Amino acid sequence: MRLILLGPPGAGKGTQAQRLVHKHDLVQLSTGEMLRAAVAAQTPVGLQAKDIMASGSLVPDEIVIGIISDRLDQPDMKNGFILDGFPRTVPQAAALDELLKKKHIKLDAVIELRVNESALLDRVESRVAEMRARGEEVRIDDTPEVLSKRLASYRTLTEPLIHYYSERRKLLTVDGMMTIEHVTREINRILSAIGAVEPKASKAAAPAKQAKAGARKTAKPAGKKAAKTAGKAAKPAPKAAKTASKGVKKAKKATRKTVKKTAKKVVKKPAKKAAKKVTKKRAKR
């Protein structure tokens, strides 16, 4: 399964990505983490990114694509991945499409978590107020002011991706304003509907076992019945043989009788004629 999660900051992409990772044994690909890992490993692309990151500049798209390309070749990618934080722009999406095409990797879906921006700002304000009330430290990037800037950047740079992936029939939209559990269930439902979720081996094996058991049950009665039927069919054979033997004996007797009668007739007639001739000769004398 290969997915991209889209949505403004605070939409819950990170939470849903983690749930999908655990449920389907996927790898969550974060461009920030991949960049840091590539720099630490001192890969050729990582060394290029190191100097750019040290200067505080944005890493060019071609370097980010190169890091993603190296990561996709790792053996732990066999079950699939979820891209988190990339692509952020249409040119990045086009470059990613070209990379996946070269590697013969199919992108299953782009899931958009659609939320109400006003509701997001209310959520952040409530969370910040609660943290301050508990005496907890509030992150600099977790305030309504910072979120407003991030939302403006999202609308300008990333929101056009919704149209981009919609045209390519990859976009699936989920109401991100539902509860976390409802969002999770809806994501899994639509992934099953498009066939992105493969059945587990245990579930797939169950019908096969049932089919084997059914075949055994069916085969046993069939064998007994066949044996009984064969036995019944075999029993009349001696009767038929006896009947045939009787018929032969009767035929032989009838033939003998016919031959005897015929022989008697043949013998009697010449004998009678001969007797008559002798009588006539004696009379003449």
Kindly list the catalytic residues. 13, 88, 127, 139, 150
Taking CA 50 as the corner, what is the angle to CA 47 and CA 51, rounded to the nearest 5 degrees? 105
Side chain identity, residue 87? P
Cβ within 8 Å of residue 254, ≥6 positions away: none
Query: Which residue carries 């004398």 as its tokens?
Result: 285
> How far separated are the first and last CA of the chain, in Å rounded?
137
CA neighbours within 13 Å on the CB side: how many for 86? Answer: 26
Question: In whole angstroms, what is the distance from residue 251 CA to residue 228 CA?
Answer: 36
What region does 278 belong to: left with phi over 0, alpha with psi -120 to 50, or beta?
Answer: alpha
Return the CA Rg of the chain: 48
Tokens of 206: 């169950």
